[in-house]
A and B are shown apart, each in its own frame.
Chain A
């Protein structure tokens, strides 16, 4: 506020509107020093893909971490120049600080729910998980090495997964073979394979981020960190008949080579029209009683859509860390040759 010699105060203008005297701004010019505070909106859901195909999902933020020809940084991408013959440790040494900085700049910790869609067979995945600060409401949807992967991939995947579990992050694991062979066919969009199939699979899952995180965090409280996934995309009555059939059919196409006795929790997310809700509820109850009687927790979350085709995604919480055990052989084989490539070497 400016003040005239007669003590009248006024916000702006050179002359006092009351007495006409000159106003002095000498005392109020310090106001220029004040900058307004901002409360930026980072969006509710952040998705960061790591060496994964670009996803067409609805989220407040979708960013990527990739290795490419050169070092490049933008608000949506962190590209590390490929290191010829480099292991995850070479990437870790070169990029860990940079990536931590980038994650802070893009506010990885700012959204309510954070998902990393990550290919843990790729060297940069270890750096990405190392750089990730310890955050709440953060989960991994991870492609993991399996029996068909090379020992080097198994070592990388083992280290990345171990780091994630150490940080207490829940993981939905998809084996490399499952990801490679993923194929969806829908009447409206035809075949989807590779990155398209991954996008199709993750789009509904991430759009139900609130429910998904809730279910994963409930399992986390039960000590369950590792999950497998099965899905039916664009299902319909004409293909599957009763919903029970769809639930049974999807149990034959699981993202990890796990055995049903390893399942401790089972949760289904359904995206369908309102009138099908009751049938899904009823069928899920029957399916659970038949196949998952001993499950510690089982829940169905329904999301209304207008499409006559439904998406059904089921997440099963696993006892222990079976995906790690599957690839432990390759991990050990590599550290016999390169002792530095251990989980401790990445911590």
Chain B
């Protein structure tokens, strides 16, 4: 707990204490206060020193912070919910604002990450479809081409395989473009480290697809790369058709960690 004259914030058991110069609550102004922030519960408590020697504290208010609430920062002045507090320095006010804005930032990061992951899945999904077709071409070319007939336009003078191949290549180019655009759009908010992870994951998933196509049964390098990205799986699982969604789901917590650990820009 902050001492009456102290200016430092302290963190103990997930709680932070800040010396508040003055505060305004429901039209009343108070001075000589302490603001406690319980990060785990996401609660704030405003206490006032009482007594001549200021040895006791009385709670003025205590409330859970609305994670959607707007947090306004103006130098040492901070406004959120129905509370307005002036801290002893702008840096302290900024530190609190950072804590209070975290849920909103996490929500935004989750949204952006989900969009980026969706674009990643679409891209590797398109590639997966193409690879499945090509794998079938190796085993039963006639069945494969009959199944992909819709990708060979009537009147197309190309050979069916060439036409289907071109069609898949075209679709893949479009979804790759969409994926990189999505990554670029979210990079400002998610940060380059997160986007680098997404690229690494996409590349590793492509490497798994290539290995499965080539019949590489061990996939040692691919598995190790995935493990480093938080995706624990086995060659058996990958061979037996583990879905791309599952791979991304397993990588998600690590990427979320990267995304939310980053202070807002």
A positions within 8 Å CB-CB of B: 2, 11-15, 22-26, 28-33, 35-36, 38, 40-42, 61, 63, 73-76, 101, 104-107, 110
Kindly state whether residue B143 has any CB partner on chain A within 8 Å: yes
- B218 partner residues in chain A, CB cutoff 8 A: none
Kindly state whether residue B243 has any CB partner on chain A within 8 Å: no
B positions within 8 Å CB-CB of A: 123-124, 127, 130-131, 134, 137-138, 140-146, 149, 152, 154, 159-161, 165, 168-169, 172-173, 176, 180, 193, 196-197, 199-200, 202-204, 206-207, 210, 213-214, 221-222, 224-225, 228-229
Docked Cα-Cα span, A300 to B223, in Å, equals 60
Docked Cα-Cα span, A74 to B143, in Å, equals 8
Docked Cα-Cα span, A106 to B213, in Å, equals 23
Contacts A11-B207, A14-B197, A105-B142 given; does A35 touch B229 at CB 8 Å = no
- A30 partner residues in chain B, CB cutoff 8 A: 176
Beta-carbon contact of B168 and A75 below 8 Å: no
- B213 partner residues in chain A, CB cutoff 8 A: 36
Closest to B169 in A: A35
Residue A29 contacts which of B137, B141, B202 (CB distance < 8 angstroms)? B202
Beta-carbon contact of B200 and A14 below 8 Å: yes
Docked Cα-Cα span, A109 to B142, in Å, equals 12
Beta-carbon contact of B200 and A25 below 8 Å: yes
Beta-carbon contact of B225 and A14 below 8 Å: yes
Taking chain A's interface residues, is the majority helix, strand, or loop, or is none over half, making it mixed? loop
Beta-carbon contact of B224 and A29 below 8 Å: no
Contacts A25-B202, A75-B140 given; does A33 touch B169 at CB 8 Å = yes
Docked Cα-Cα span, A343 to B42, in Å, equals 89
Beta-carbon contact of A22 and B196 below 8 Å: yes
Docked Cα-Cα span, A162 to B200, in Å, equals 63
Closest to A11 in B: B221
Closest to A15 in B: B228
Docked Cα-Cα span, A101 to B141, in Å, equals 15
A94 to chain B, nearest CB (A): 15
Beta-carbon contact of A24 and B199 below 8 Å: yes
Contacts A22-B193, A32-B202, A33-B176 given; does A40 touch B161 at CB 8 Å = yes
Docked Cα-Cα span, A33 to B142, in Å, equals 25
Residue B146 contacts which of A28, A31, A75 (CB distance < 8 angstroms)? A75
A220 to chain B, nearest CB (A): 27
Beta-carbon contact of B221 and A33 below 8 Å: no
Residue B168 contacts which of A13, A35, A76 (CB distance < 8 angstroms)? A35
B12 to chain A, nearest CB (A): 34
